[in-house]
């Protein structure tokens, strides 16, 4: 059983919480509360300061496709069922032309495009991240690189807000796990797409997300809009999503959907499952609205352009 699920069951009881779970609390997790103006990093200033957190706000620009549940009449194929335990599922698809309008980096920029799912790169048991999860109970997005935490209508910059104290709040173990997981995903992507892992760079934003059925407080919380990551985030060439909770056990709705011309193809989240794909419009996608419970995931993305590369998030 996963810690996140246990922690969440205490923090936000759900009708799905099975009885008899060990009650856990987060004693080390301080509440930022309503931030002092000096400590606030609004989304815009974060973005102005070098890219920052773009996330879902920009997705609105690509609206116009049915939202919420899967559209009636839309044929849906399941690429990965929650109960599957997949080693290396991969579907190749033709690349879009999106990459032509960006500088090409041979040996990295996608020539082979597609989407893959694996349950064999990360085990469910290792996905603990307790110090990150403390904050995710209070926020919908935690951007590890910038420290931006979205809380209701506000963005708080955790690194500025807590300063040196952040080292007492976040643990090095969580950052080390993040680095390890990032590396393993990067290697898998490189292997599947036939490129060199050293030609890929982590890019921003890289963030934890919490999605539930409560009304979006701001447009940043509107995770369900169809979008193309390369359009939304610019620097992305390869997107990966690491799921931390289970579809239909921890939450309902919230499936990931590739929106192809002929059909939708779903990936049902499963804790430890990595879904990865080339970031161009060959992989238009969205997330179904969550109907109940809480869905946790991490978006970890890569660019081929060293100019947009970032280092691993660091503690302090």
Ligand X SMILES: O=C(O)CCC(=O)C(=O)O
The least distance separating ligand X from the CB of residue 292, rounded to whole angstroms, comes to: 17
Pick one of ligand X, Fe ion, none as the site partner of residue 119 (Cβ within 5 to 8 A by kind): none
The least distance separating ligand X from the CB of residue 84, rounded to whole angstroms, comes to: 16
> Which residues lie near Fe ion (CB under 5 A)?
229
Pick one of Fe ion, ligand X, none as the site partner of residue 142 (Cβ within 5 to 8 A by kind): none
Please select the residue that binds ligand X; options are 2, 79, 297, 300, rule is CB under 6 A.
297
Residues between 115 and 144 with contacts to ligand X, criterion CB under 6 A: none
- Going residue by residue from 244 to 263, which x/- string records binding to ligand X, judged by CB under 6 A? ------------x-------
| CA contacts within 13 A on the Cβ side of 278 | 25
- Does residue number 209 form part of the binding site for ligand X (CB under 6 A)? yes
- Asked about 295 being catalytic, the answer comes back as yes
Pick one of Fe ion, ligand X, none as the site partner of residue 271 (Cβ within 5 to 8 A by kind): none
- State the residue number with the nearest CB to ligand X: 299
**Furthest CA-CA distance within the chain:** 55
Question: Which lies closer to ligand X via its Cβ, residue 162 or residue 178?
Answer: 178
User: What sign has the CA pseudo-torsion 227, 242, 185, 93?
Assistant: negative
Question: Which lies closer to Fe ion via its Cβ, residue 174 or residue 229?
Answer: 229
Question: Which lies closer to ligand X via its Cβ, residue 190 or residue 259?
Answer: 259
The least distance separating Fe ion from the CB of residue 271, rounded to whole angstroms, comes to: 19
Please select the residue that binds ligand X; options are 221, 229, 237, 282, rule is CB under 6 A.
229
Please select the residue that binds ligand X; options are 142, 241, 244, 304, rule is CB under 6 A.
241
Joined tokens for residue 136:
């995710």
- Going residue by residue from 167 to 206, which x/- string records binding to ligand X, judged by CB under 6 A? ----------------------------------------
Joined tokens for residue 256:
């990931």
Question: Which positions are catalytic?
Answer: 295
Residues near ligand X (CB under 6 A): 209, 229, 241, 256, 285, 287, 297, 299
């Amino acid at each position: 059983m996963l810690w996140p699920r246990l922690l969440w069951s205490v923090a936000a009881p759900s009708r799905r919480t099975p009885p008899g779970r060990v009650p856990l609390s987060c004693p080390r997790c301080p509440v930022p509360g309503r931030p002092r103006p000096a400590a606030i990093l609004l989304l815009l200033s974060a973005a102005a300061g070098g890219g920052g957190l773009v996330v879902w706000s920009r997705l609105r620009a690509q609206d116009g496709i049915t939202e919420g549940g899967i559209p009636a009449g839309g044929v849906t194929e399941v690429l990965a069922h929650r109960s599957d335990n997949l080693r290396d599922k991969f579907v190749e698809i033709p690349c879009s032309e999106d990459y032509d309008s960006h500088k090409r980096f041979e040996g990295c920029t996608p020539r082979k495009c597609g989407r893959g799912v694996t349950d064999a790169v990360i085990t469910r048991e290792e996905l603990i991240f307790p110090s990150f999860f403390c904050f995710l109970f209070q926020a919908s997005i935690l951007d590890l690189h910038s420290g931006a935490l979205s809380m209701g209508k506000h963005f708080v910059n955790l690194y500025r807000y807590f300063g040196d104290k952040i080292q007492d709040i976040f643990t090095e173990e969580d950052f080390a796990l993040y680095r390890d997981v990032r590396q393993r995903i990067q290697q898998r992507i490189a292997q599947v797409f036939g490129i060199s892992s050293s030609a890929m760079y982590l890019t921003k934003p890289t963030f934890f997300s919490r999605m539930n059925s409560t009304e979006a407080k701001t447009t940043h919380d509107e995770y369900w809009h169809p979008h193309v990551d390369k359009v939304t985030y610019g620097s992305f060439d390869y997107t990966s999503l690491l799921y931390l909770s289970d579809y239909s056990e921890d939450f309902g709705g919230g499936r990931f959907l590739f929106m192809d011309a002929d059909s939708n193809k779903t990936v049902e989240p499963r804790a430890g499952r990595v879904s990865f794909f080339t970031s161009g419009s060959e992989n238009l996608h969205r997330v179904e609205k969550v109907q109940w419970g809480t869905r946790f995931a991490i978006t970890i993305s890569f660019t081929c352009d060293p100019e947009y590369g970032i280092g691993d998030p660091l503690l302090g």
